[in-house]
Amino acid sequence: MKFPKGIPVGKAVVSVGKDVTIRGWIYRKRSSGGKAFMVVRDRTGTIQCVADKAVLKESEWNAVDSAYLESSVIVRGTVKRDERAPSGVELQARSVMLVHSGEQFPITEYQSPEFLLDVRHLWLRSQRMIHAMRARSYVFKYAREFLDRQGFFEITPPLLTISAGETGANLFEVQYFDQKMYLTESSQLYAEAMIYSLEKVYSFAPSWRAEKSRTTKHLAEYWHLEPEMAYFDNDMNMQLQERLVSHIAESLATKNKDILAHFGVDPESLLKVKPPFKRLTYTEAIDLLQQKGSSIKWGEDFGVEHERLLTEYEDKPVFVQNWPKEIKAFYMYTDPKNEKMVLNSDMLAPHGHGEIIGGSQREWRYDQLVENMKEKGLNLDNYKWYLDTRKYGSVPHSGFGLGMERVIKWMLNLDHIRDAIPFPRMMNRMEP
Ligand code: 4AD
Ligand code: MG
């Protein structure tokens, strides 16, 4: 390729006095008295480049002069120490190659959130989104890293399904040749089928929810991490969840301080996220909510306000376990001590960021599973294959689903989940 290689802008600080090349995009630019000051960014940071009309070739100077914000450039020059610069250095340009000048960049300062969502494909170049997307990539990596070390196999489930994995109330329908299928709302049932061969598995895939909720924590398409383990009861399941969440928090706190600083998050707050997490039963949580003045009644599901009341003063997530069978999914294991309840737990993030994990021990007995499904009014014909998994060497097992964007929203303290995913899909947002 005819374009020269560059060093990462973030590494320029260790090259004082040296001649280096950087490749990036113009982040800011101003000119005065035959000099142009360009702040150039790449994925590692920004650096101020000083271009001098007297030093550059005429064609180069004209190119710099006419370049827009976000024009792509390759700059060669000498790194000089500059205490005033945020990076501690600046680059004195000896040559500038304008790779693509392009057009006037449509994003200027003080744009509305709606406009920034319309031009999301360009807003991804902002410092905010660069930091958020780096965090996202790291959170995915740390989650995989933890499970891989625990001896899990990653599996790839189908995303088009006939059987609903959850309530089935929020499915997106898809025309599939001359039939109807659905975009999956959870890969759990497929993960369960695979524990009989691989024992400890996780799927990392999108889930879709056609929930008509316009909250700051609902996406119509989100990334769902779903581990499933043979011979795990719900206590073992919960211990695995807290260790996973703690690993992600600790890794961000120790390896990504620069990202956390960008969002004003103190790494110490994430280092506090250590097992064990507080455990409340559903019934205890209802009592607590009522003491705090809520009008919620036993048997009702939690809303945003209840999750906030339970977690606003917590530093660590809180488990709410042992829920009424009536408001939970068909596959959950009936509590042997109280048949109205199931062995499950929801993990609520601190400071009102909401539910990040739903998990349970699974009903592994064929007859009880069929009874649950009939109680919930499910069409057994659509679950023949799933019921088969309980016919041949069924074993006790457990699993959970973690919403990746919910975790990122919490750990970066974002006020809206949309900034945890590059191209959000929400009720009124389909593009870009
Ligand atoms: O609690 P949910 O519905 O549980 C399941 O789907 C189980 N089948 C998971 C399992 O056991 N394998 O969803 C699990 C998690 C929630 O705790 C939340 O973090 C996330 O998925 N989630 C959403 N995230 C963003 N937008 C939405 N609309 C979400 N709905 C659920
Ligand atoms: Mg849930």
* Residue from 406, 410, 426, 427 to probe ligand 1 pocket by mutation (most atoms less than 8 Å from CB): 406
Q: Give the HSE-up count for residue 373: Cα atoms under 13 Å, Cβ half-sphere.
A: 24
Per-residue pLDDT of the chain (432 residues; tens, 9 = 90+): 789 999 999 999 999 999 999 999 999 999 999 999 999 999 999 999 999 999 999 999 999 999 999 999 999 999 999 988 878 899 999 999 999 999 999 999 889 999 999 999 999 999 999 999 999 999 999 999 999 999 999 999 999 998 777 777 899 999 999 999 999 999 999 999 999 999 999 999 999 999 988 899 999 999 999 999 999 999 999 999 999 999 999 999 999 999 999 999 999 999 999 999 999 999 999 999 999 999 999 999 999 999 999 999 999 999 999 999 999 999 999 999 999 999 999 999 999 999 999 999 999 999 999 999 999 999 999 899 999 999 999 999 999 999 999 999 999 999 999 999 999 999 999 999
CB 432 within 8 A of CB 121: yes
* Residue nearest atom 14 of ligand 1, based on CA coordinates: 401
CB 244 within 8 A of CB 143: yes
Kindly give, in sequence order, each residue whose CB lies less than 8 Å from that of residue 154, ignoring residues fewer than 6 positions away: 144, 147, 148, 201, 202, 203, 204
Q: Is the CB of 317 under 6 A from ligand 1?
A: no
Could you give the CA distance from residue 101 to residue 65 in angstroms, rounded to a whole number? 11
pTM above 0.95, yes or no: yes
Nearest atom, ligand 1, residue 227 CA: 12
The string of DSSP codes covering 156-171 is: ---SEESS-SS-STTP
Amino acid (one-letter) located at 336: P
CB 159 within 8 A of CB 186: no
Q: Which residues pair with 51 in a beta bridge?
A: 36
Q: Is the CB of 401 under 6 A from ligand 1?
A: yes
CB 22 within 8 A of CB 75: yes
Q: Is the CB of 359 under 6 A from ligand 1?
A: yes
CA of 215 to the centre of ligand 1 (A): 15
Q: Is the CB of 186 under 6 A from ligand 1?
A: yes
Return the ligand number nearest the Cα of 329.
1
Task: Label residue 361 exposed, middle or buried (CB < 10 Å: 0-12, 13-18, 19+).
Answer: buried
CB 74 within 8 A of CB 23: yes
Per-residue pLDDT, 84: 86
* Residue nearest atom 29 of ligand 1, based on CA coordinates: 218
Tell me the domain boundaries of the chain.
9-100, 120-420
Residue with tokens 């005429």: 58
Q: Is the CB of 407 under 6 A from ligand 1?
A: no
For domain 120-420, the CATH class is alpha beta
Instruction: Give the strands of the sheet with 318-321, arranged side by side.
Output: 153-155, 200-208, 221-230, 397-403, 354-361, 344-349, 318-321, 278-281
Q: Is the CB of 211 under 6 A from ligand 1?
A: yes
Q: Is the CB of 51 under 6 A from ligand 1?
A: no
**278 φ/ψ sector (left φ>0, alpha ψ -120 to 50, else beta):** beta
Per-residue pLDDT, 167: 72
* Residue nearest atom 27 of ligand 1, based on CA coordinates: 218
CA of 84 to the centre of ligand 2 (A): 50
Structurally, at CATH architecture level, domain 9-100 sits in Beta Barrel (2.40)
* Residue nearest atom 5 of ligand 1, based on CA coordinates: 401
CA of 209 to the centre of ligand 1 (A): 9
Per-residue pLDDT, 48: 96
CB atoms closer than 10 angstroms to residue 384:
9
CB atoms closer than 10 angstroms to residue 331:
24
Helix (H, G, I), strand (E, B) or coil at 319: strand
Query: What sign does the dihedral 366-368-373-374 (CA atoms) show?
Result: positive
Per-residue pLDDT, 86: 77
Cα distances from 48 to residues 25, 26, 75, 78, in angstroms, run: 12, 10, 11, 12
Q: Is the CB of 306 under 6 A from ligand 1?
A: no
Tokens of 412: 């970066």
CA of 119 to the centre of ligand 2 (A): 32
Q: Is the CB of 325 under 6 A from ligand 1?
A: no
* Residue nearest atom 28 of ligand 1, based on CA coordinates: 218
Nearest to 92 by CA among 126, 48, 124, 133: 48
* Residue from 207, 302, 331 to probe ligand 1 pocket by mutation (most atoms less than 8 Å from CB): 207
Tokens of 210: 């056609």
Could you give the CA distance from residue 343 to residue 334 in angstroms, rounded to a whole number? 6
Could you give the CA distance from residue 334 to residue 323 in angstroms, rounded to a whole number? 10
The string of DSSP codes covering 126-153 is: SHHHHHHHHHHHHHHHHHHHHHHHTTPE
Per-residue pLDDT, 214: 84
Could you give the CA distance from residue 211 to residue 304 in angstroms, rounded to a whole number? 14
Nearest to 307 by CA among 410, 223, 421, 408: 410
